[in-house]
A and B are shown apart, each in its own frame.
Chain A
Amino acid sequence: MLPDSSGHFGIYGGKFVPETLMPALAELEEVYSKAKADPSFKEEFEYYLTKYVGRPTPLYFAGRLTKHLKGARIYLKREDLCHTGAHKINNTIGQAILTKRMGKHRVIAETGAGQHGVATATVAAMFGLECEIYMGTEDMARQSLNVFRMKLLGARVTPVDHGSRTLKDAINEAMRDWTTHVRTTHYVLGSVLGAHPYPMMVRDFQSVIGREARGQIFEAEGRLPDCLVACVGGGSNAIGLFYPFMDDPGVRMVGVEAGGLGIRTGRHAARFATGSAGIFQGTKTYLLQDRDGQVMVTHSVSAGLDYSAVGPEHSYYKDLKRVDYTYVTDKEALKAFSLLSEIEGIMPALESAHAIAYTMKLAPSLPGDRVIIVNLSGRGDKDVQHVSEIIGDR
């Protein structure tokens, strides 16, 4: 079972943080492993997933999209229907319960698109925890609706105005806050990133997506899917869908990264296309960096995918070739955003639109008896203003 006891996925993962945080990681690991073995934790987690998040989310057969693409049958795992509008809340519910168990009263989080920030602020409100969210100023500009939502939920949103002013800088600042307030504060990391036990713990919380999808596709089709498709920023929605299918060798998995303006322009976030192994923000993983080891600035139309590294477990699957990683450009994602809105009445988050965009290429290449599940990880309401600025009012 991965990760191993020291938090490694093959050569990736591990714990690369300042000493001040090492005891906090050990505490989190201990509290989490006790919780995992405790039926009352599972009960509480599932209670909130059902009654508060609204799970299970539907697995929806996208009939019009299937017909339009003239190929494989396409199912959408509707994480966009979760409370707060994205899969992120599956993880924040789990971590909020752990925060209480650790006796901590304050949570902090980073956010890129704002979905994880909203999900953290939401559970903090519900559990009565103090909450501070770090967000890059560039992301605040393109996701202003989510900034306001977090404030309405009672969280403090702290702008991060250095570096690339995006997700990676928000994580740096959250780590600095955590180092300073580690005795009272839990860091609710929002993806399968960072030091052990985060990649494992967040994967476990998000695996509810794949477990449900597995049961639902058997119900709908009486068999396993042929392919799973999900976008990969840090990679939590992708791991959440993929993980429960890992032992099914016939199920192909595709992770879709942000190709930005195109790989050749250098303005993208396709870590697996041009990155290499490095150590960044607590973990060893694929990283976009220069030859001296400086982390490169990324670009994507989608704030949630605009990140220089990727979850270490994905790096492991990449080398193992268990998961295929590809990318689509900003332009393709925007086209998918419009298409899904027009023919299914579902506005995907720009992150999830990357998975739809790849599906638009994949589905027509497959016969009509094949089955694809796409993780529709979030809804696009938050992106409407940003998209209208780009494509204009048509």
Chain B
Amino acid sequence: MGRIGETFKRLRNQGKKALITYIMAGDPDLSATEALISTIEQAGGDILELGVPFSDPVADGPAIQRASERALQSKTTLRKVLALVKKARKDGAAIPVIIMTYYNIIFQYGIARFSKDAASSGVDGAIIPDLPPEEAADFIKYARSSGLDTIFLLAPTSTGERIKRIASSSTGFIYYVSMTGITGARLRNLSEIREKIPGIRQHTDLPVAVGFGISNEDDAKRIAKWADGVIIGSALVKLIEANRGRRLLLPKVAGFIRAMKGAIG
């Protein structure tokens, strides 16, 4: 079991839920990202998703689109992000780190090479929103052999058959997309999440984390009752956007993480 599995296990034993946070690497630059990683870990973030920018992020809403543009402006590449993780690990970062990016970025880097380099840099898993299990045979093969977790997404529209297939392709946890929509959209119907999670658990013992559109403590608290983890992306990315380049950035992020962690328990 890797860092991700161990984190969920530890939290489960403590009766707690995982706070999974997403930030875009290189937004606004990689040295800010380095500081943010340690701030998030110290403030109580349990797992970190590190976005690698892509020119055409079809699954993302405006907040993460803008973050991608800033990260591309600062010339952020997958190679540099892996080097950053390696450095953070050397400096003592223990938080599980997941690379989240679009498939073409990994495809151009090379799937085998990515799996090897990511694992040796201290990355624990990968989430690729535009890579369904049907197309992921190579990715799964190389990730498994390097010990990287392959986290696939489930959506409200996924059928029972797809839930089965995605559950059997996933390791680490399952990422349940809270709604039909893009990242950062407004979450309207929480009861659909509550109804869907038992159907997922029928097919898997993996932890189920819920993301997309979770922006406040109330929603996070309610979702944490049903899920094993809550994923916060756009809300944090917006906070970083509003405070980038300011001395208040890290304290604000730390306060936000503490509040969210407090809410989900």
Contacts and interface: CB of A to CB of B under 8 A. Distances in A.
Nearest to B105: A293
B65 A18 contact: no
A168 B135 CA distance: 23
Interface residues of A, number: 36
A294 B157 contact: no
A279 to B, nearest CB: 4
B107 A278 contact: yes
Given A16-B132, A17-B130, A18-B130, A24 B58 contact: no
A276 to B, nearest CB: 9
Interface stretch (A71-79, A126-134, A175-183, A311-319): A175-183
A22 B177 CA distance: 13
A16 B162 contact: no
Contact of A20 (B56, B72, B157, B159): B157
Q: What does DSSP make chain B's interface, helix, strand, loop or mixed?
A: loop
A294 B130 contact: no
A282 B180 CA distance: 17
Interface stretch (B41-49, B147-155, B201-209, B250-258): B147-155
Q: What does DSSP make chain A's interface, helix, strand, loop or mixed?
A: mixed
A23 B180 CA distance: 12
Given A176-B61, A289-B104, A19 B152 contact: yes
Contacts of A278: 104, 107-108
Contact of A19 (B58, B108, B132, B182): B132
Contacts of A17: 58, 130, 132
Interface in A213-247: none
B5 interface: no
Contacts of B181: 20, 179-180
Interface in A153-182: 162-163, 168-169, 172, 175-176, 179-182
Interface in A1-32: 6, 14-24
B180 A295 contact: no
A23 B157 contact: yes
6 contacts: A16-B132, A19-B152, A19-B162, A176-B182, A182-B180, A183-B157
Interface of B: 54-59, 61, 65, 69, 72, 77-78, 102-109, 129-132, 134-135, 152-159, 162, 166, 177, 180-182, 185
